[in-house]
Amino acid sequence: MAASGFEGFEKRLELQFFGDDPSVLTGMGLRQLEFESLEQVLDAVQCTVVSAVGNHFFDAYVLSESSLFVYPTKIIIKTCGTTQLLKSIRPLLLYARHLGLTLCSCRYTRGSFIFPMAQPFPHTSFKEEVIYLEDCLPSNLCYRKASVMPSKIPSHSWHVFTAASDEAHVMIGSTPHVPDVLYTLEICMTELDRVLARKFFKRPGDEKTGDSAGKEMTKLTGIGDINPGALICDFAFDPCGYSMNGIIDGDRYSTIHVTPEDGFSYASFEFVGSIYDDHEDDVAQVLKKVVQVFRPATMSVSTTCTSHEVWTKVAKALEPLGWKCRSCTMDEFPAAGSVVFQTFTSRRK
């Protein structure tokens, strides 16, 4: 492994809000934030917007280091490298307050960094991150839990912090008037197949823009087939690397980020689905396509859901493809539901 390189493993922050005025929940809410305000938040994190797409339900931004999703009452920021993600919390809470919104839940997750010594404050350790989170969050988020979910693969463990208010227990997991059970899959893949990873490098002398080179990579790699029909916003970095946000259906998204350099190659895939989805969008179908695109040697899958039936589909989908489940850990978190963390190794030579 390289002594130092680009940190692929992302930090992910999800903040959910509520408003005393019911119109906030049905209106634009956080989507009203000026682009300059979002830029100030991202400046604190140390990243920028490179591309964006939106629909009736939310806005999706590809960042110089991963992704940002803005809903009327929810924000998700996912950043890699040496970004300082948690520094987004204070400015976001301030902007939300101006819109009449109050924080009701927070979820922070990440894997194990490949280069932990390169991380800046407050990401120098999970303990420091939790102290920083506790300090930033308002007192109404009184149900709090921090946990490191281990695995039998030393390089893969899952760090989870959640905090929730009384209101969150009523609101999380459902859209007003639409009873639904959503799940989030967060997949972290390391030691990518070298031949496949080369597809995420720009050719020497290639003058294409990040947008057009990104579209080419989406097509060449098979990423466009993972969620057919998705509205895709993609970007290729110079000299290598790739990011994609996909608007799947209504308020659902998928996102992919690739660090293809040999020695610390990494790819992530995140996907939000419903347990009521039909077979075409099933977990198994998505997982099969993802592992075909990257063929990693090692992979972890974190499933967050209030229902217990989703995570069982993960091993059932992967084992027939030559993957061995090395470990499975489960824990319960306030308002977030259950988090199941599974690790797999490939039987490929």
Going from the C-alpha of 69 to that of each of 40, 57, 154, 246, the distances in angstroms are 16, 11, 31, 11
Q: What CA–CA distance (Å, rounded) separates 64 from 145? A: 31
In 3D, which of 269, 245, 259, 255 has the Cα closest to residue 200?
A: 259
Q: What CA–CA distance (Å, rounded) separates 249 from 146? A: 32
Beta carbons of 339 and 330 less than 8 angstroms apart: yes
Q: What CA–CA distance (Å, rounded) separates 14 from 63? A: 16
Rg value, the chain, Cα: 19
Helices (H), the chain: 22-26, 35-45, 89-98, 126-136, 166-171, 194-197, 210-221, 283-294, 312-318
Active-site positions read 7, 10, 66, 80, 243, 257
Beta carbons of 19 and 30 less than 8 angstroms apart: no
Q: What CA–CA distance (Å, rounded) separates 303 from 294? A: 20
DSSP bridge partners of 148: 159
Question: What angle do helix axes 89-98 and 35-45 make, rounded to 10 degrees?
Answer: 160
Residue that the structure tokens 């994190």 belong to: 45
In 3D, which of 42, 49, 51, 6 has the Cα closest to residue 210?
A: 51
